[in-house]
């Protein structure tokens, strides 16, 4: 997958959504506008709302994580272009909400992108393996675990950004961050179970 000519990924997405879809802000129109980078960018697009620190919409990680899982499975299986069922492709999105989320997260992404450049091409070209990691991390993102979604989201963001720009170092950082996020979520679950047991021991 060729790298983007610029690294303002959110700006690229905002431009596409404001001008190219011509008022039809459907999932199918967004995927079509992303062209050959559709898998990396659509996974990034779906994960971005979960990467903003602070209060989020309840259930957002599950609602966005399930499509991320589906797209990642497709890409890991070797498909070049995302395949959407008709009902999903025609589903309309609230343009204002989508653009607002992208504008909120854009400063954070720009800070990351200043450190990015095409490198470690041998790693970036291993698409099925890398999207396999996305599958694993999206499973973590889907789970409604308090304090667990943000680290999982940023691991997917780093990985998909690395794929979109062709930066193998950030792909590697995303994999490491995802493994740490997975361990963190396991610790949260274990701690929660032990806390419940401790409480019931005194009842």
Look at residue 82 and tell me if it is in a domain: yes
Number of domains in the chain: 1
C-alpha to C-alpha distance for 40 and 186, rounded to whole angstroms: 27
**Smallest Cα–Cα separation from 26: which of 87, 104, 74, 101?**
87
Cβ contacts of 14 within 8 Å, gap of 6 or more: 99, 102, 103, 106
Look at residue 89 and tell me if it is in a domain: yes
Cβ(37)–Cβ(164) under 8 Å? yes
Look at residue 2 and tell me if it is in a domain: no
**Smallest Cα–Cα separation from 98: which of 25, 164, 28, 158?**
25
Look at residue 130 and tell me if it is in a domain: yes
With 90 as the cut, is the pLDDT of residue 179 above it?
Answer: yes
What whole-number percentage of the chain has pLDDT above 70?
A: 76
Q: Highest-confidence range of 16-25, 43-52, 95-104, 155-164, by mean pLDDT? A: 155-164
Cβ density class 5-36: b for 16+ within 10 Å, e for less: eebebbebbbebbeeebeeebbbbbbbbbbee
User: pLDDT: is 185 or 33 the higher one?
Assistant: 185
Q: Highest-confidence range of 25-39, 43-57, 89-103, 156-170, by mean pLDDT? A: 156-170
Look at residue 179 and tell me if it is in a domain: yes
Look at residue 1 and tell me if it is in a domain: no
State the residue range of the domain holding 111: 9-201
Look at residue 148 and tell me if it is in a domain: yes
Look at residue 4 and tell me if it is in a domain: no
10 Å CB burial of residue 95 (0-12, 13-18, 19+) is middle
Q: Give the pLDDT band (50/70/90) at residue 171.
A: very high
């Amino acid at each position: 997958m060729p790298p983007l000519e610029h690294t303002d990924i959110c700006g690229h997405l905002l431009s596409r959504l404001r001008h190219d879809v011509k008022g039809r802000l459907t999932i199918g129109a967004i995927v079509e506008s992303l062209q050959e980078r559709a898998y990396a960018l659509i996974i990034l697009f779906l994960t971005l709302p979960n990467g903003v620190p602070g209060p989020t919409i309840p259930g957002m990680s599950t609602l966005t994580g399930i499509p991320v899982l589906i797209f990642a499975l497709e890409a890991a299986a070797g498909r070049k272009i995302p395949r959407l069922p008709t009902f999903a492709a025609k589903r309309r999105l609230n343009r204002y909400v989508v653009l607002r989320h992208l504008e909120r997260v854009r400063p954070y992404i720009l800070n990351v992108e200043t450190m990015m450049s095409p490198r470690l091409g041998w790693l970036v070209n291993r698409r099925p393996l890398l999207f396999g990691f996305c599958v694993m991390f999206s499973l973590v993102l889907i789970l409604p675990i308090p304090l667990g979604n943000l680290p999982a989201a940023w691991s997917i963001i780093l990985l998909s950004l690395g794929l979109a720009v062709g930066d193998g170092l950030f792909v590697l950082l995303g994999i490491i961050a995802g493994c740490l996020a997975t361990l963190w979520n396991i610790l949260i679950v274990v701690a929660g179970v032990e806390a419940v047991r401790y409480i019931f021991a005194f009842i």
